[in-house]
A and B are shown apart, each in its own frame.
Chain A
Amino acid sequence: GAVVSQHPSWVICKSGTSVKIECRSLDFQATTMFWYRQFPKQSLMLMATSNEGSKATYEQGVEKDKFLINHASLTLSTLTVTSAHPEDSSFYICSARGTSGRGEQFFGPGTRLTVL
């Protein structure tokens, strides 16, 4: 299957700071990437859909000014959590849609964010 990487794998930051998470598709071009958030023992919740060269589409209840998404190229999307607070502590996972007919999504390894 296709490989998706995420960086960093974990980050600890102080409340009020901003954190950038990178998501890369390593061996295929992804016109669409997705950002999910997962709290402990809960399922993945879609935050936004990121389309290369255009503005991201955010799910209801997700603040676009707080979670900035940039999809500048076919292999890179970034999520910036601005002015992070302890309640933003979560597991953030990106995924990219594959190029097969099934259109399955391949997931990055996730980023564990802890805000102190």
Chain B
Amino acid sequence: GQNIDQPTEMTATEGAIVQINCTYQTSGFNGLFWYQQHAGEAPTFLSYNVLDGLEEKGRFSSFLSRSKGYSYLLLKELQMKDSASYLCAVRDKLTGGGNKLTFGTGTQLKVEL
């Protein structure tokens, strides 16, 4: 995955819903991942999409449109602990075999009272 774009920062209110968008350009798309990363910690896996559509997992949902090179992560019922950086990562199938995961720069989400 190359040219992965996502907003740098977002702010939302506790209890609200927030949507974090990610657009990408790739030649060998083989899946899109969302990770959550708190400051000074390693990323933790949130969701995975390889086919078009919506994947729901509790308060988190992720959507993918391969034709548009677009994904979003939807967070419902926001909690203060959801304040973190959210990384969009695209996996490419390499011509020589294997896969490579490329990360976007991350969206820093701040949840306020």
User: Cβ of B16 < 8 Å from any Cβ of A?
Assistant: no
How many residues in B have their beta carbons less than 8 Å from beta carbons of A?
A: 22
Which secondary structure dominates chain B's binding surface?
strand
**Which bucket holds chain A's interface residue count?**
20 to 34
User: Cβ of A105 < 8 Å from any Cβ of B?
Assistant: yes
User: Cβ of A44 < 8 Å from any Cβ of B?
Assistant: yes
A108 near B31 (CB under 8 angstroms)?
A: no
User: Cβ of B44 < 8 Å from any Cβ of A?
Assistant: yes
CA distance A88 to B91 in the complex (A): 27
Assuming the contacts A43-B87, A44-B87, A49-B98, asked whether A107 and B42 have C-beta atoms less than 8 A apart, the reply is yes
User: Cβ of A8 < 8 Å from any Cβ of B?
Assistant: no
User: Cβ of B100 < 8 Å from any Cβ of A?
Assistant: yes
User: Cβ of B53 < 8 Å from any Cβ of A?
Assistant: no
Greatest chain B CB density within 10 A among A42, A104, A112 is at A104
User: B residues within 8 A CB of A107?
Assistant: 35, 42-44
CB-based nearest B residue for A110 = B42
User: Cβ of A46 < 8 Å from any Cβ of B?
Assistant: yes
What residues of chain B have their CB less than 8 Å away from a CB belonging to chain A?
A: 31, 33, 35, 40-45, 48, 50, 87, 91, 98-106
What residues of chain A have their CB less than 8 Å away from a CB belonging to chain B?
A: 1, 32, 34, 42-46, 49, 91, 93, 95, 102-110, 112
